[in-house]
Structure 1
Amino acid sequence: MGPVKNSNSATRSARVEEMRRAERARERRNRILTVAASVVVVAGLVVGGVVLVRSQSDSGGSGKKDTAASGDAKNAKNSAGDSGHFTTGEDGVQTWSGKLSRTHVTTGVTYPMHPPVGGNHNPVWLDCNGTVYDKPVHDENAVHALEHGAVWVTYTGAADKADVSALAAKVKRTPYSLMSPYEKQDAPLILSAWGHQVTVKSAKDPEVDKFFAAYVQGEQTPEPGASCTGGVMR
């Protein structure tokens, strides 16, 4: 019986030792999991803190930008931010030789030319998908449409009604173009694009087709392919 008892005792001791090893292994796993969880929590707190700081920083930066813009907007009329002058080519097209700013502003802008061919402008563009307006539009929205590559046809009360009708028909079938009355200009009929402008004698003036061909989504366009719909509607 002695050997049997010893055998049973050894087996029991081995089983106990195995259980102890398993318990130690379980404790090690738990410690590892606890440490890992702590690391994740700390990392999350750090990342969250960084995101919060950046968010506050960005908000502060945006606030500063908005404040600056608001500061500019305190003036009844903003500067267009333009420098330069027109030079006239052999074809009669006037090209602005200097800088045309592109800052978005929410107030009126004083432009150095009429109609304007660029400069600071409203954040919302004027619909220019072959759109004909029967009333004057805001320069600041129209300039944004020019930035998108549109040609803007304008006319005064001195323009021949037949010419106005013919140009309106052309605009209506030409995406990236628009038309509106404009009494402040020096000639009855004027076509404008970003940085370019031409006076035409009539709707049959050869320069009309040339100007449309050259400047509707032309090389002068600061934002080619930008939308001409979804802006300020009629």
Structure 2
Amino acid sequence: MYYFISVLAALEVIYMSAIHPRFLASIISGNKTISFIGCFVQLFTAGTCGITESYLLAVMAIDRDLAINWPLRYSAIMTMTFCIGLAVIPWIVGISFMLTESILTAHLDFCGCNEIDHFFCDLSPLQVLVCSDNFIVNVVISLLGVFACGVPFCIIIQAYIRIIITITKIKSSVGKRKAFSTCSSHLIVTSLFYISICAVYINPNGNASKKYISLMFALISPTLNPFIYALRNKDVKEAL
């Protein structure tokens, strides 16, 4: 569990470093321009971190499922080699998906006023600036989006269904509370992540509301996640 939490913490640092320094520099200096290459580097880095976090949360759900449903076999299953493999897979998926999306988008024709209606280079506001036919690109990106968020979300739901069924079979209230406390932090972080994703990318409202929600998603969620895991952890509380 601590191994995956450390990977999540490193992921959040990279994600915030891809967006916030450039955003703050624009506010302070007033220079709101960004190069074509710099924009797509930012798009690739932020998108990779988002997809990787989605799959990493699914991996952490599987970890909690194994810990609660197979506690006696947990140590034998979750070896260090297996943990490293589970931590690497989300990065491979995130890099592969975003590399494909970034290359396809970068090869489209951008013309007219190249002014991004956002505070960082995101996929949706970039596609608004495209003046060539991007139907096939949109189909590919939509399919990748389903696999990027839909697949890990289904894995998380399935894992928690199994966890809830197991917890309901525990007779003592103390045992139920102890079992649920091991995955409560992950459940809170996952809920924040997917609620923000749905609000940003499924919200039918205008771009103004999406920009504010995106800012909350990019700033508040990564800031809260360490506190959620730290303050709900007994070992951390005792160390403090």
**When the two structures are superposed, what TM-score results if normalisation uses the length of structure 2?**
0.21
Higher relative contact order (Cα pairs below 8 Å, separated by 6+ residues) = 2
Higher helix fraction: Structure 1 or Structure 2? 2
**When the two structures are superposed, what TM-score results if normalisation uses the length of structure 1?**
0.22
Higher strand fraction: Structure 1 or Structure 2? 1
Larger radius of gyration: 1
